[in-house]
A and B are shown apart, each in its own frame.
Chain A
Amino acid sequence: MNLEKVIFGFFIVLAATLNFGFFVGDIDNPVHHDVYELFAAIVVNLIATVLKFGDRTHIGAIHLSTSLVADLQLIAAALVWSYGTQVVGAGLTPETTAKVVSLSGGALFANVVSMVILIAETIMQKR
């Protein structure tokens, strides 16, 4: 067992699960989507991205790119959330919620791709 692999897999899966946790629920119902979960998803996604730095294989490159996509989507979601609640000041309206959740849905897709790559890589291992 390789500790590095454990940490790597842990963060990738955690990024996907947190993202999924935030995503599930009615798309425009603010009660179903907790902002703390979004925060946690962003942080874990960023850590997962940094963990993928410096892998020069082809699979490593795809890993990094999917992670960057997820980061971009989640940060966009956070920006939309900040704009809706702080700048406009109307609180979490159904429209804002729908926008934030759909952006995080995009990130979820990228995270699922990341997971699939991880699983494929694991299956390809001979030992």
Chain B
Amino acid sequence: MNPDVQESTFFLALRRMRAPLITLILIYAVSVLGLTLIPGIDAEGQPTRMSFFHAFYFISYTATTIGFGEIPNAFSESQRLWIILCIYLSVIGWAYSIGALLALLQDRNFQNAVRVQRFNRVVRRLREPFYLVCGYGETGQLICRALDQLGMRAVVVEVDEARVSQLDLHGHSADIPALAADARQPEILKLAGLTHRCCLGVIALTNDDNANLAIAIATRLLAPELPALCRAETAETATNMASFGTRHIINPFDKFGRYLALALNAPAAYHLLEWLTGVPGTPVVPHRDPPRGHWLLCGYGRFGKAMVSALEQEGVPVTIIDHDPPPDDAQRHWVRGDGTGVPALLEAGVRNAVGIAACTCEDMSNLSIVVTARELNPELFVVLRQNLQANQALFDAFESDFTVVPSKIIARECLAILTTPLLAPFLWQIKQRGESWASTLLDQLTERFGWQAPTVWSVRVDAGQSPALLNWLTQSHREAALGDLLRDPHDRSRELACRVLYLKREDGSAAMLPHRHTAIQAGDQLLFVGRAVACGALELTLNNENALDYVLRGREIPGGWVWERLARLHGGPAQSSGGTKTNRAIARSP
């Protein structure tokens, strides 16, 4: 809903309270006035009139049904007659007013207006960096959960109210402000913090390409410096987005096509890539490598097209089964028919094929196709497209070789872009270095860290991310070797469970898998892979001068001015402070 409309709804609500309020004022006025005019009797039995003060006092407690009795004197009969009328009038007046107020609070538009105001207030008060996530579907949920685990805030705009109310049930550790509104409207995006100074980027994940396009345009125009990550499922949208400079366009089908091409071409590189980009903590199961040979493909839609082009690029022959093949495509081998039926599969040569890809947009058709095909040829390598998360159980039960879940692919890609910008050049290098290099590296890494997807993070040597190290390098002009930096700040004889994959210098030069003697310089960017614990420990080293000194030199520098002075007087290693811990650490260090 348009915020302008929101505001007017609010005023409309106020307007609707006019009649009940005026009724109440009139009832009070008439009652009080009558009471002051009607003759009464005072304590001595003399005729008197009630003052406005007493009349208002009496009406106030009578109208609110408190009823203290006849104050200050017992009433005359004519006063009592008037009071009967007042009581019924005031009851009606209050019933009407409260009824109107409750009806107003129940009003959908009014509630919506209140919700938008509250959302806007929460977003405006955000003082931490956050991502604006448009669309809380399957992908949006994955992204929000991952961002939450990484300790980053998110703001959600989702058109479907049911999904927004689901958000409360998902139990994130940080509060995620969410609004049920159409993200295609720029005003809504502004409300959700597009122009907020803490906004780190916009992630457009709605299942409508046009909506994503609208979000990309709005971001480009209203907040040009913000990166926008946009899902695009058709090539036209992707080109359109690219034409006005959208920085990251994610097409899940195209992405998977490239994965498959890599898997066909260089299985170890593919495994390494999958292991590095997995959702941290989830097991990555190494599956068998896709064979080269004759492939079948059912359903020539968006995904089908991406698959065919990937397979053809690798020089793998494909037979396509579809309901209506294009009449003038002589280059490819087409079979008209339904992939779920045996005749079409047989005609396409399923018995001699090595792989099959079920690419229709119907989950049940896809399952039916691969079950039938496996019965005809149990050795088939199966690529299965899963459209809905709800069908997860069925897809788990069928052991496919690849299950393509677009939402997961997008989520993974988004996270890789957001959290570790260095990962992309490293992954590109993997593809360049060749199969045996990737295979060796994969063996080393999985031997050390296991097949669970590791945590991948990057660090920049600057005042923001590593103030202690920067100080060490620039103020003290000392050296820091990479290997020393990766010692455990609690016990430096141990190494942290992480490894540097990629080092990018400020002058643009880069090193793959830098050696442990490499000297770190200010402005370096490092890509780490390892366990989450190591990430936390390294953060301590990079931020805390004492920890850094201990890690690099094996001693603890004294904290505080007095101890620092004492240490300087003594000269040499400061053993006066730190007590037993320092001594123990020095004794242990090699």
Contact = CB atoms under 8 A, between A and B. Distances in A.
A86 B53 contact: yes
B51 A51 contact: no
Interface in A6-50: 35-36, 39, 43, 46-47, 50
B6 to A, nearest CB: 12
A82 B53 contact: yes
A86 B51 contact: yes
B149 interface: no
A54 B21 contact: no
A51 B17 CA distance: 10
Contacts of B18: 50-51, 53-54
Contacts of B25: 43, 46-47, 50
A58 interface: no
Contact of B11 (A43, A55, A81, A82): A55
B97 to A, nearest CB: 11
Q: Contact residue range for chain A?
A: 10 to 19
Contact of A43 (B8, B17, B29, B51): B29
B174 interface: no
A78 B36 CA distance: 15
A82 B57 CA distance: 11
A36 B32 CA distance: 11
Nearest to B28: A43
Contacts of B12: 54
Given A47-B26, A56-B7, A35 B14 contact: no
Contacts of B22: 47, 50-51
B484 to A, nearest CB: 66
A39 B21 contact: no
A47 B13 CA distance: 18
Given A46-B25, A47-B25, A50-B25, A39 B52 contact: yes
Contacts of A53: 14-15, 17-18, 21
B53 A54 contact: no
Contacts of A51: 18, 22
B223 interface: no
Contacts of B11: 54-56
A26 B15 CA distance: 40
B126 interface: no
B33 interface: yes
A114 B399 CA distance: 79
Contacts of A43: 25-26, 29
Contact of A50 (B21, B36, B52): B21
Contact of B8 (A47, A50, A56, A81): A56
A93 interface: no
Interface in A45-89: 46-47, 50-51, 53-56, 78, 81-82, 85-86
Interface centre among B15, B52, B54 (most CB of A within 10 A): B52
Given A36-B33, A50-B22, A86-B54, 20 more contacts: A35-B52, A36-B36, A39-B29, A39-B33, A43-B25, A43-B26, A43-B29, A46-B25, A47-B22, A47-B26, A53-B14, A53-B18, A54-B12, A54-B14, A54-B15, A54-B16, A54-B18, A55-B11, A82-B53, A85-B53
23 contacts: A35-B52, A36-B36, A39-B32, A39-B52, A43-B25, A43-B26, A47-B26, A50-B18, A50-B22, A51-B22, A53-B14, A53-B17, A53-B18, A53-B21, A54-B13, A54-B16, A55-B11, A56-B7, A78-B52, A82-B52, A82-B53, A85-B53, A86-B51
Interface of A: 35-36, 39, 43, 46-47, 50-51, 53-56, 78, 81-82, 85-86
